[in-house]
Amino acid sequence: MSDKLIYFDNNATTMTAPEAIEAMMPFFSLRYGNPSSMYPFGGEVADEVKKARERVAAMMGCEPREVVFTSCGTESDNTAIWSALRTQPDKRHIVTSRVEHPAIASNVPFLKNLGYRVTEIGVDEKGNLLWEQFIEALTPDTALATFLWANNETGVIFPVEEMAEACAERGIQFHTDAVQVAGKVPMNLSKTKIDMVSISGHKFHAPKGIGALYVRRGMKYVPYLVGGHQENGRRGGTENVPYIIGMGKAAELAMANMDDENTRVRALRDRLEKGLTDSITYTRINGDTLKRVPNTTNISFEYIEGEAILLHLASAGICASSGSACTSGSLEPSHVLRAMGVPFTAAHGSIRLSLSVHNTQEEVDYVIKTFPPIIAKLRAMSPFWKGDGPAEDNSMLTCETGSCQVCGV
């Protein structure tokens, strides 16, 4: 095991910024007042929560009163769906995509059981939304269209602003999960027709366990967590003050780092991608390389298994993630790559590398150097690889056969 730590899994979570931790500390100890209290000891804390809300609103390009603090991106997503359905009880249809994060996708069977009709729009081979299918799916019965802004696995960006326009023209609420966009791509929500937006602090250097939902002013909205009057009656529960302060600080840092993210981090990601695809045969980049968030690459190393690559990377101190899911008990590779029609041999060997402003060129070069021997070693052991290329008969290489031919599960 290496004692190095090269962290290239920032779409899973990020390091909490030291500045955010420092800003949070007093609110765990001396400044413990309840922001809803009438006395100054609480009121002063409420002032700090207000500042944090302003900072998050500045990052999202909206008004502070449009920001509702939640416990995470998942809560924000569930709240958006709940609110759209509860405020429009006569509408029984939802439109979403086939490549959503589980925070949205796991609602689909549940909603179907409740009698809702759900249309899941497909994507093309680069992960771009099938626009015509989307437009055709919008009906007078549609309560909500909910789509990722950027895909967590590939980084591919959906044209959510145009999608929201199309929904607004038809009186349909539009929600986007922007968890992978916050801090990476500038947002100017006030200039859009988007109704609700989910973000999550731990994806942009705030701690885990804090999120927010943008709710456009004047929107029909009901809370998901019903309780006290916190968050202007839009989310019950005493505010998680230290984490809200931490997210405010992280939002401020994200704004300051936005240029670095879109220039230096983008260049590092591109260098990494080129280094790996130039030095290793039978690779493919999954996702539209021209329409991605700047920090993410998803690369398939064909004829081997992603989880095996991850284990070898971990021994070299590199943290990444894979699109296949054998260790989670499922034989299927990523639903995102499958929706894109990525061949099975490639989908199974996909690795997501996601960078942040804390990464350096030395780290990128170390990863570029570390990969080729790992891939060569795994291919030498793969029954679907012979010599310098794929074995002649790979016809059995499919999950449809019922047992996983690549990883042997």
Ligand X SMILES: Cc1ncc(COP(=O)(O)O)c(C=O)c1O
Interface residues with ligand X (CB under 6 A)?
A: 72-74, 77, 101, 103, 148, 152, 177, 179-180, 200, 211
The vertex-59 CA angle with 128 and 144, nearest 5°, equals 45
163 exposure class (CB count in 10 Å sphere: 0-12, 13-18, 19+):
buried
Which helix (H) or strand (E) covers residue 108, if one does?
helix 107-113
Q: Considering the complex, state which of residue 147 and residue 282 has its C-beta at the smaller distance from ligand X.
A: 147
The H or E element spanning position 118 is: strand 117-121
Closest CA to 297 of 218, 235, 371, 228: 371
Residues near 23 by beta carbon (within 8 Å), at least 6 away in sequence: 245, 246, 248, 249
CB of residue 152 to ligand X, shortest distance in Å:
3
As a whole number of Å, the end-to-end CA separation of the chain is 25
Considering the candidates 62, 72, 326, 407, report the single residue annotated as catalytic: 326
Least distance (Å) between residue 180 CB and ligand X: 5
Is 407 labeled as catalytic in the residue annotation? no
Supply the minimum distance, in Å, between the C-beta of residue 12 and ligand X: 6
At its nearest, how many Å lie between ligand X and the CB of residue 239? 17
How far apart, in whole angstroms, are the C-alpha atoms of residue 64 and residue 56? Answer: 8
**Residue closer to ligand X, measured from CB, 101 or 175:** 101
Nearer to ligand X, 72 or 374 (CB): 72
Partners of 214 in beta bridges: 67, 197
Residues 210 and 156: their CA atoms lie apart, in Å, by 24
CB closer to ligand X out of 45 and 336: 336
Token pair in block for residue 139 = 């009906």
d(CA 54, CA 61): 10
Which one, 200 or 382, has the nearer CB to ligand X?
Answer: 200
What three-state secondary structure class fits 90? Answer: coil
Query: Minimum Å distance from CB 70 to ligand X?
Result: 9
Which residue from 406, 404, 156 is spatially nearest to 301, judged by alpha carbons? 406
For the bound state, the minimum distance from the C-beta of residue 295 to ligand X, rounded and expressed in Å, comes to 12
Tokens linked to 379: 């291919």
- Ranges assigned E (strand) in 8-76: 67-70
Cβ-based nearer residue to ligand X, 183 or 211? 211
For strand 196-200 and strand 173-177, is the pairing parallel, antiparallel, or unpaired? Answer: parallel
Catalytic residue list: 326
